Amino acid sequence: MKLLRRLRYWLDNTRHAADLAEEMEFHRAMLTRDGAPPATLGNTTLAGEDARAVWIWPWLESLWQDAVYGLRAMRREPAFTATALAALACAIGVNTGLFTVFNAFALQSWTVRDPASVVTIHRFTRDGGGGFGIAEYRYLTQHSRSLAGLIAMSNGEEVKLGDRPLQLTYVSGNYFRLLGVGLERGRGFLDEEDNPADPQPVVVLSHDTWQNRFGGDPQIVGRVIRLDDVPFTVVGIAPEDFHGTNPLRNEVWAPLPAKLLLRPSDPASLAWLTNPDFCCTPIAGRLAPGVTRAAAEAEVSVLLHQFLAETRVVRDPFRIVMAGTSWIESPRKKRQVIPTLSILFLAVTLVLLLACANVGNLLLARAAARRREIAVRLALGGSRIRLIRQLLVESLLLALTAAAIAFPLGFVASKGLIRRLAGPAWYPLTPDLHVLAYTLAVAVVSCVAFGLAPALHGTSGGIAAALKADAPLGRTRLPLRSILLGVQVAISVVLLVGAGILVRGLARAQNIDPGFDFRNVTVLSVELPARQYTGPRTQVLTANLEAQLDRSPGLPSSALAQGAPLGNATFSTNFQLLTPRRSPMMQIWATQISPAYFDVLRIRFMEGHNFTADDTPPCLVVNQSAAKRWWPGESAVGKSVFAYRKVRQIVGVVADTYTHDLHTSDEPMLYLPITGAQGAPVVLVHDRNSAAVDRVAAMVKQIEPRAQIHAEPLSDNFDRQMEPNLIGAALAGFLGILALGIASVGMAGVFAYVVGRRTREIGVRMALGAESAQIIRLVLGSALRPLAFGLAVGLALSAAVSILLAGLLPGVKSSDPLAYLNVVFLLGLAVALASAVPARRATKVDPVRALRCE
Amino acid sequence: MGRSPALELLPGTLDMLILRALARGSMHGYGIAQILKQTSDDVLEVGESSLYPALQRLLLNGWVTAEWGASENNRRARYYTLTAAGRKQLAAERADFERMVAAIQRVLQTA
């Protein structure tokens, strides 16, 4: 109770100090009123300090004593301290590491002025979310009153500066001003530079780009640089701590209309900037003072409906949601990422729990050794509460020391993790106050977790019993030790089974059939000098390539496509059903291909036939999912749709394939004849033989000598899709092995303890003629029940965890007997290793000496 | 005739005297000092430097609670109230103290 009052006082320290000051002033005023001479007033400051000290001093002083005593205890037992610190530091380290990454990527708001008033704006439809058209963005900018301003930012594209790529983001002209990001140098963008009728070649560089690509040139502002060979004037440098507003690497920013300069041949460029029915650009806004998100959502929703009515654009019904700017708040990201994160946090929490059980067990062993000391203190009148506090302070010291080691360790680990996941980090992975607070919290929680039970346990029981010279071990001691050992075993089993399932899932995922032949196909990407390639030249090139591929008899079978399947590029288009009645305009995945595509990739036709390059009316092929979704129970062949700016007839239905990732193959998809209007195509060659592939490359070179051609097996795309599985398996493997290591140390400790406590018994047995094997059985037998118990609980928990895992990664199966068997085997091995040394020591017990001790 | 000067309190008795003063009802710190002065015929004079630490100690132990209210001259003053635990503590301390005083007196009279 006293502690509670003290805590409450500290929590409201300033108010209490003010209260005290005020009442003492009142006292003084009354004294003066009653005519007391000034001499009797005394030193108020000192009196106030004395009064405040009542709350703090005695407590702090005794705490300090405990801490000093605890430090001495830690130094006295270096082996114990080192083991406990190692286990705790590893466990807290992986927690800190994960949180450092989580903090940097998910918790940080944009580094802008007053981030609390900035909201990202999302549109949700039945089919998921999407961004906004630039035209919609401009309309909202003009009419919204609840938002002080809006910005638009495209997810950008890669451009070449010299011969190395640079990630460019298109942003609205007011981007830096509305966000309140003061540029380090330069004037930034002007409003008139955000005009599609008059695009201006200006860019703002990120601080890193300025430093790394221009050597921090102080004269850079005003200079002309060439992006994709297009000259741009540098008009600013972003401050060092500003990393942009999308999760991509943001290296250079240009106004939205600059797309017309960089991608002049793509008709979609102008359409993107002006057409009212385009979509998919992320926008954000700054709330006007005093406006709530809900009010702004309502207004934006009304304005958008107004816009759609004015422009006669039909969209699926939608809902507007505004969210904060940190990644975790983004409603769509949340849904994607939270399951993965939960699993990761669950795993590292398990490791922490394991370490706590381990250290708890060590503490118990130590408490047994310190029983006499504790008993003496109790006998001398120390209160039990005071002793428990003493033991807890020692635990806390241990945990905090471990945290101090773990903090930099976690930082290094997270850097390594990110490098593995995403290459060198472009996001600042600096450990900040959040991370520090998290690490401290983890340390304190773990201290209670591993310290409380042993402290309660160690101080229980009568004084008299403990003081007896060589009291036998209390009967109650073993169950707690067994429980803690069981917990360690159970947790290692869960982590190991998880790792096993992921590793074997990885192997199985390698055998996923994506629905097309990726093993025997080579992808040739054709890169063209962008500047010279304006206008319809890519279309001409595409047409020439298609004709030439058809005509050359010696070449392996090859097809053109906008992008290779499972590559990074995704393409979608507006789409509308025309029969039986007009549907609203929808977005649908669509890829442009030459007719040979299905043959090269060995994709089966379920119905109908292929299109040809010059059908009239224009034709297309849909996948099975599209056919099932819109024409259930009837044939899709022969139906008319509006897609890619034309009315087209469906002539065939092909099997579903995993086109974008290995999770889903059942998304509706259109295949359209390739035009080349969006840029140079890729050539898919059904051959892995480099000589044959070179012949195709030579043919492309012949048609376009300036093209740079890069060949890569299609299986590389498949392997890149495996990356998350690979990382998941590696992480799980790491945690599993860490867990097994900690648990083994724990088991070895228990065995050593058993041998130490039962030396005399072993001596007697040996004196009576027991064999070594019997002694080893005796040692092992002592831990058999907790081992079996931990194994059983662990296997049961694993079954639950594996169901979670199976939903996350392709190829992972929840019931995988082999993974479980491997774990049982590994655990058996660990038990054997952990018991080897103590058991050997047991068989070396000299009966005579053991008995003489008596 | 000269008045005898105010006496130093016996150590440990201030808390008890404050509790006793508060047993009559809630009052502010200045009021407590006044009461102690008046009821002891000006013998006991408690200064801020011992009164307020003592009050904080009583608060910490949960024997009194404090609340802001208006004083007789309409200023904000902090009123202290005895709690049930405080009442018990007063009774205990008082019994101990009376036994102690009686013992001291017996020694003084007979020795």
Three-state secondary structure of A650-700: EEEEECCCCCCCCCCCCCCEEEEECCCCCCCCEEEECCCCHHHHHHHHHHH
Tell me, what's the pLDDT at A465? 58
Q: Which of B36, B44, B52 to mutate to test the interface with A (most CBs of A within 10 A)?
A: B52
* Alpha-carbon gap: B55 to the closest alpha carbon of chain A (Å): 8
Q: For A55, name the nearest residue in chain B, comparing CA atoms only.
A: B60
Same domain, A492 and A418: yes
Lookup result for tokens 């090859």 = A558
Tell me, what's the pLDDT at A469? 46
Query: Alpha-carbon distance A638 to A651, whole Å?
Result: 6
Same domain, A554 and A697: yes
Query: Alpha-carbon distance A124 to A321, whole Å?
Result: 7
Same domain, A659 and A743: no
Give residue A530's pLDDT band: very low, low, confident or very high (50, 70, 90).
low
Query: Alpha-carbon distance A651 to A616, whole Å?
Result: 12
Same domain, A495 and A529: no
CB spacing of A23 vs B28 below 8 angstroms: yes
- Which one-letter DSSP state was computed for residue A174? T
Which has the minimum average pLDDT: A187-196, A430-439, A774-783?
Answer: A774-783
Backbone phi, then psi, for A247, in 5-degree steps? -70, -5
- Please determine, looking at this structure, whether the domain spanning B14-110 carries the CATH number 1.10.10.10: yes
- Which one-letter DSSP state was computed for residue A580? S
A419-464 residue pLDDT tens: 766 555 456 677 788 888 998 998 888 888 888 888 887 777 666 6
CB spacing of B62 vs A24 below 8 angstroms: no
Residue pair B25/B103 in contact by the 8 Å Cβ criterion: no
Provide, as residue numbers in chain A, all residues whose Cβ is less than 8 Å from the Cβ of B76.
Answer: 22, 26
CB spacing of A53 vs B53 below 8 angstroms: yes
How crowded is the C-beta side of A305, counted as CA atoms within 13 Å? 9
Backbone phi, then psi, for B79, in 5-degree steps? -95, 130
Secondary structure of A768-787 as H, E, C letters: CCCCHHHHHHHHHHHCHHHH
CB spacing of B48 vs A40 below 8 angstroms: no
Tell me, what's the pLDDT at A181? 92
Provide, as residue numbers in chain B, all residues whose Cβ is less than 8 Å from the Cβ of A53.
Answer: 53
- Which one-letter DSSP state was computed for residue A34? T
Give residue B1's pLDDT band: very low, low, confident or very high (50, 70, 90).
very low
Interface A:B, Cβ pairs < 8 A: 71
Residue A497's identity, in one-letter code, is V
Tell me, what's the pLDDT at A152? 93
**7-66 in B: which are within 8 Å (CB) of A?**
28-30, 33, 47-49, 51-53, 55-57, 59-62, 66
Residue A612 structure tokens: 């040809």
Does residue A260 lie in a domain region? yes
Residue pair A258/A170 in contact by the 8 Å Cβ criterion: yes
H or E element: which one contains B47? Answer: none
Tell me, what's the pLDDT at A819? 80
Q: Is B72 part of the contact surface with chain A (CB cutoff 8 Å)? A: no
Tell me, what's the pLDDT at A853? 56
Does residue A91 lie in a domain region? no
Query: Alpha-carbon distance A376 to A387, whole Å?
Result: 11
Same domain, A491 and A419: yes
Query: Alpha-carbon distance B36 to B18, whole Å?
Result: 8
Residue A850 structure tokens: 């053991």
| Higher pLDDT pick, A228 / A52 | A228
Query: Alpha-carbon distance A363 to A449, whole Å?
Result: 12
* Alpha-carbon gap: B106 to the closest alpha carbon of chain A (Å): 32
CB spacing of B73 vs A33 below 8 angstroms: yes
Residue pair A532/A541 in contact by the 8 Å Cβ criterion: no
Tell me, what's the pLDDT at A284? 93
- Please give the tally of structural domains in chain A: 4
Same domain, A772 and A807: yes
Q: Is A114 left (phi over 0), alpha (psi -120 to 50) or beta?
A: left
Per-residue b or e along A52-86, where b marks 16 or more CB atoms closer than 10 Å to that residue's CB: bebbeeeeeeeeeebbeebeebbeeeeebbebbbb
Q: Is B44 left (phi over 0), alpha (psi -120 to 50) or beta?
A: beta
How crowded is the C-beta side of A289, counted as CA atoms within 13 Å? 0
Tell me, what's the pLDDT at A663? 73
Lookup result for tokens 């006669």 = A312
Q: For A57, name the nearest residue in chain B, comparing CA atoms only.
A: B57
- Mean pLDDT along residues A529-544: 72
Closest CA to A317 of A301, A339, A338, A294: A301
Q: Which of B56, B72, B75 to mutate to test the interface with A (most CBs of A within 10 A)?
A: B56
Query: Alpha-carbon distance A832 to A853, whole Å?
Result: 30
Give residue A332's pLDDT band: very low, low, confident or very high (50, 70, 90).
low
Residue A844's identity, in one-letter code, is K
Residue pair A549/A684 in contact by the 8 Å Cβ criterion: no
- Mean pLDDT along residues A500-525: 85
Q: What is the mean pLDDT of chain B?
A: 85
How crowded is the C-beta side of A233, counted as CA atoms within 13 Å? 11
Give residue A478's pLDDT band: very low, low, confident or very high (50, 70, 90).
low
Last residue of a domain, one of A668, A683, A715: A715
Share of chain A above pLDDT 90, in %: 23
Please state the separation of Cα A819 from the chain's center in Å: 26
Same domain, A318 and A352: no
Facing A54 at nearest CB: one of B33, B56, B73? B56
Provide, as residue numbers in chain A, all residues whose Cβ is less than 8 Å from the Cβ of B56.
Answer: 20, 51-52, 54-55
Q: Which of B14, B27, B30 to mutate to test the interface with A (most CBs of A within 10 A)?
A: B30
Facing A55 at nearest CB: one of B33, B60, B62? B60
Same domain, A652 and A767: no
Does residue A99 lie in a domain region? no
Give residue A471's pLDDT band: very low, low, confident or very high (50, 70, 90).
very low
B49-89 residue pLDDT tens: 888 888 988 988 889 999 988 887 788 889 999 999 999 99
Give residue B3's pLDDT band: very low, low, confident or very high (50, 70, 90).
very low
**82-111 in B: which are within 8 Å (CB) of A?**
none
Query: Alpha-carbon distance A566 to A463, whole Å?
Result: 72
Query: Alpha-carbon distance B77 to A25, whole Å?
Result: 10
Q: For A31, name the nearest residue in chain B, comparing CA atoms only.
A: B30
Residue pair A337/A106 in contact by the 8 Å Cβ criterion: yes
Share of chain B above pLDDT 70, in %: 89
Query: What residue spans define the domains of chain B?
Result: 14-110
CA dihedral A183, A188, A191, A197 (to 10 degrees): -150
Q: What is the mean pLDDT of chain A?
A: 83
Facing B60 at nearest CB: one of A27, A42, A54? A54
Q: Which of A51-65, A366-380, A586-600 has the highest mean pLDDT?
A: A586-600
Residue A27's identity, in one-letter code, is H
Residue pair A559/A683 in contact by the 8 Å Cβ criterion: yes
Does residue A44 lie in a domain region? yes
* Alpha-carbon gap: B9 to the closest alpha carbon of chain A (Å): 17
Does residue A728 lie in a domain region? yes
- Mean pLDDT along residues A26-52: 74
Does residue A829 lie in a domain region? yes
Facing B62 at nearest CB: one of A5, A40, A55? A5
Same domain, A486 and A550: no
Bridge partner list, A322: A121
String of DSSP letters for A55-77: HHHHHHHHHHHHHHHHHHHHHH-
C-alpha separations of A839 from A742, A747, A768, A783, A827 in Å: 19, 12, 18, 12, 17
Q: Is B3 part of the contact surface with chain A (CB cutoff 8 Å)? A: no
- Mean pLDDT along residues A456-476: 59
- Mean pLDDT along residues A138-160: 90
Residue pair A640/A651 in contact by the 8 Å Cβ criterion: no
Give residue A473's pLDDT band: very low, low, confident or very high (50, 70, 90).
very low
Closest CA to A175 of A164, A165, A163, A190: A190
Domain assignment of residue A682, given as a range: 522-715
A749-764 residue pLDDT tens: 778 877 777 777 888 8
* Alpha-carbon gap: B72 to the closest alpha carbon of chain A (Å): 11
Facing B75 at nearest CB: one of A26, A42, A47? A26
Q: What angle do CA A164, A160, A563 make, to 5 degrees?
A: 105
CB spacing of A24 vs B52 below 8 angstroms: yes
Q: Which of A213-227, A561-575, A812-826 has the highest mean pLDDT?
A: A213-227
**42-101 in A: which are within 8 Å (CB) of B?**
42-44, 46-48, 50-55
Can you give the pTM of this predicted structure?
0.70
- Mean pLDDT along residues B31-43: 88
- State ipTM: 0.83
pLDDT at A30 over 50: yes
- Mean pLDDT along residues A403-409: 90
Lookup result for tokens 């492309």 = A700
Query: Alpha-carbon distance A224 to A161, whole Å?
Result: 12
* Cβ neighbourhood burial of A536 (10 Å; 0-12, 13-18, 19+): middle
CB spacing of A42 vs B76 below 8 angstroms: no
Closest CA to A149 of A124, A113, A174: A174
Query: Alpha-carbon distance A444 to A722, whole Å?
Result: 38
A229-265 residue pLDDT tens: 889 999 999 998 888 887 677 889 999 999 888 877 6
Q: For B61, name the nearest residue in chain A, comparing CA atoms only.
A: A2
- Mean pLDDT along residues A700-714: 87
Q: Is the peptide bond before A724 cis (omega within 30 degrees of 0)?
A: no
A580-638 residue pLDDT tens: 778 877 878 889 999 999 999 999 999 999 998 778 788 999 999 999 988 988 898 98
Same domain, A579 and A675: yes
Provide, as residue numbers in chain B, all residues whose Cβ is less than 8 Å from the Cβ of A48.
Answer: 52
Closest CA to A673 of A607, A600, A596, A603: A596
| Higher pLDDT pick, A808 / A730 | A730
Same domain, A169 and A301: yes
Same domain, A341 and A321: no
